[in-house]
């Protein structure tokens, strides 16, 4: 017996679609607050000491959190190779901007406080702001473009051609999604700062967090409305074999208004995702001033979970529609790795993801508690 055939190709593809969501949500829920804290750094911290406190709330954990992104890249490569190939080559300049901004973070955290100079530290503070703001914005802009369809074509040998440019990405709907992403991660970063700091920094974080949570609710509603009114969805016309070979050219796709809402009509339980998006953000807004800091962070995570899930569910089974050659759109049924690779990767994920969850929780437990000024002045290990 061949072990990997215990699970059908179709099942594995659905599992890997879910895992794709898990990785994106894992990234947004963990490194998301690091990005949010980066954005808030120059505002939440007014003095040098306050800024060091802000940086040191994430100093010991951001590196591990960022691995969600790296793992996301690797897992998309392994499980959805066409998605990896089309999206990153298509969004080339946008990806470059993300990478350039993300490069600033590790060095910014590590190098900022190694010299006393105020100018040196001020420059790094703004570099860390860029390292938080730019990726947050572009990730959202990218999602906004994916929802509208991306201008790529596939040759008969599945070579990829991209017809758009960088500035084409910056359309109104995509920018709306970008702002939603910024607001959502700023809310998340604030919730983290409220949990990990005290005094004026926590006070400012509460204020920024309230604005960001409100903005998240409004922008998410506006995004949903705009998606309904102005963005055509995609649907597969005719039959597609969910167990068929991964060749995106073997199907027909049509563009239809409202198609991105069809899944909710067919499966009303999916409405739980947008509902959680709203409830999470509203809950975080209500909880921010209550002193229940852990609850606020969890509600903010819930909002992230709901918002990202709702994008995935709206599009299912599409993962990257093509606006210029709809038939070449990448879907769950024709853009995955082989049956065997999906199975092997599932086994590896099944073994290691729980282990990662265990030791990550342990690390957070060790680092539990608020960061105070004395943590920075004593010991000499702080950033």
Contact positions with another protein (CB under 8 A) in 253-312: none
Output Rg (C-alpha) for the chain, integer angstroms.
21
ω before 73 within 30° of 0 (cis)?
no
Q: How far is the CB of 321 from another protein (least distance, A)?
A: 18
**One symbol per residue from 213 to 252: x for binding another protein (CB under 8 A), - otherwise; what is it?**
--------------------------------xxx-----
Applying CB under 8 A, among 5, 267, 363, 377 the residue interacting with another protein is: 363
- Candidates 90-98, 266-274, 282-290, 292-300; binding stretch for another protein (CB under 8 A): 90-98
> What's the start-to-end Cα distance of the chain, in Å?
55
State how far the Cα of 226 lies from the Cα of 228, in Å rounded to an integer.
5
CB of 32 to another protein, least distance (A): 16
What sign has the CA pseudo-torsion 35, 202, 184, 265? positive
Residues that bind another protein (rule: CB under 8 A) add up to a total of: 71
Least Å from the CB of residue 124 to another protein: 10
Extended strands (E) in 6-159? 152-154
The correct pick among 6, 49, 256, 367 for binding another protein (CB under 8 A) is 367
Which residues face 152 on adjacent strands? 162
CA atoms within 13 A on the CB side of 347: 9
Considering only residues 181 to 220 of the shown chain, the ones binding another protein according to CB under 8 A are: none
| Nearest distance from C-beta of residue 47 to another protein, angstroms | 22
Q: Is the dihedral of CA 126, 130, 131, 132 positive or negative?
A: positive
- Strand, coil or helix: 209: helix
Nearer to another protein, 82 or 274 (CB): 82
Interatomic CA distance for residues 61 and 131, integer angstroms = 16
Q: Would you mind telling me the total number of residues written for the chain in this entry?
A: 383
Piece in contact with another protein (CB under 8 A), picked from 77-85, 186-194, 215-223, 270-278: 77-85
The correct pick among 38, 45, 82, 132 for binding another protein (CB under 8 A) is 82
| 3-state SS assignment for residue 376 | helix
Cα separation, 184 vs 175, in Å, equals: 14
CA distance 194 to 296: 9
Q: How far is the CB of 217 from another protein (least distance, A)?
A: 32
Is 377 exposed, middle or buried (CB count within 10 Å of its CB: 0-12, 13-18, 19+)? Answer: exposed
Return the range that interacts with another protein (CB under 8 A); candidates 46-54, 83-91, 217-225, 307-315: 83-91
Footprint of another protein on 36-75 (CB under 8 A): 59-64, 66-67, 69-71, 73-75
3-state secondary structure of 69: helix
Out of 95, 218, 231, 255, point to the residue binding another protein (CB under 8 A): 95
Nearer to another protein, 153 or 295 (CB): 153
According to the binding rule CB under 8 A, does residue 135 interact with another protein? no
Please state, as a whole number, how many other Cβ atoms lie within 10 Å of the Cβ of residue 246.
21
Which segments of the chain are extended strands (E)?
Answer: 152-154, 160-162, 232-237, 252-257, 318-320, 330-331
**Candidate list 18, 47, 49, 114; residue touching another protein; CB under 8 A:** 114
Tokens of 160: 């990829």
Smaller CB separation from another protein, 60 or 258? 60
Closest to another protein by CB, 61 or 281? 61
Among 338, 370, 372, 373, which residue interacts with another protein (rule: CB under 8 A)?
338
From the list 340, 370, 372, 373, which residue makes contact with another protein (rule: CB under 8 A)? Answer: 340
Site residues (CB under 8 A) for another protein, limited to 142-171:
156-162
Pick from 289, 86, 287: nearest CA to 207: 289
Shortest distance in whole angstroms from residue 348 CB to another protein: 5
Q: How far is the CB of 52 from another protein (least distance, A)?
A: 13
């Amino acid at each position: 017996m061949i072990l990997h055939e215990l699970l059908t190709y179709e099942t594995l593809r659905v599992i890997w679609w879910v895992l794709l969501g898990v990785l994106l949500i894992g990234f947004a829920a963990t490194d998301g607050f690091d990005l949010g804290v980066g954005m808030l750094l120059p505002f939440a911290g007014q003095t040098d000491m306050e800024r060091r406190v802000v940086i040191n709330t994430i100093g010991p954990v951001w590196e591990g959190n960022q691995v969600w992104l790296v793992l996301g890249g690797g897992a998309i490569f392994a499980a959805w190779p066409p998605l990896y190939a089309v999206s990153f080559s298509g969004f080339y300049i946008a990806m470059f901007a993300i990478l350039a901004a993300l490069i600033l973070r590790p060095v910014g955290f590590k190098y900022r406080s190694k010299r006393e100079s105020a100018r040196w530290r001020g420059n790094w503070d703004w570099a860390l702001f860029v390292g938080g703001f730019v990726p947050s914005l572009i990730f959202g802009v990218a999602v906004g473009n994916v929802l509208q369809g991306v201008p790529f074509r596939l040759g008969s040998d599945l070579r990829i051609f991209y017809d758009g440019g960088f500035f084409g990405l910056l359309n109104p709907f995509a920018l709306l999604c970008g702002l939603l992403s910024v607001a959502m991660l700023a809310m998340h970063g604030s919730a983290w700062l409220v949990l990990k700091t005290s005094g004026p920094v926590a006070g400012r974080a509460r204020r920024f967090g309230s604005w960001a949570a409100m903005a998240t609710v409004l922008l998410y509603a506006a995004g949903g409305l705009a998606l309904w009114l102005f963005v055509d969805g995609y649907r597969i016309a005719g039959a597609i074999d969910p167990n068929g070979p991964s060749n995106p050219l073997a199907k027909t796709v049509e563009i239809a208004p409202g198609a991105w809402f069809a899944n909710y009509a067919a499966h009303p339980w999916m409405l739980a995702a947008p509902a959680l998006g709203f409830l999470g953000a509203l809950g975080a807004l209500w909880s921010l001033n209550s002193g229940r800091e852990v609850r606020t962070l969890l509600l903010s995570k819930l909002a992230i979970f709901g918002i990202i899930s709702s994008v995935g569910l709206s599009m299912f089974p599409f993962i990257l529609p093509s606006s210029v050659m709809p038939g070449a759109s990448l879907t769950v049924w024709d853009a995955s790795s082989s049956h065997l690779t999906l199975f092997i990767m599932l086994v590896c994920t099944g073994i290691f993801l729980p282990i990662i969850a265990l030791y990550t929780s342990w690390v957070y437990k060790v680092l539990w508690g608020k960061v105070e000024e004395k943590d920075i002045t004593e010991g000499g290990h702080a950033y």
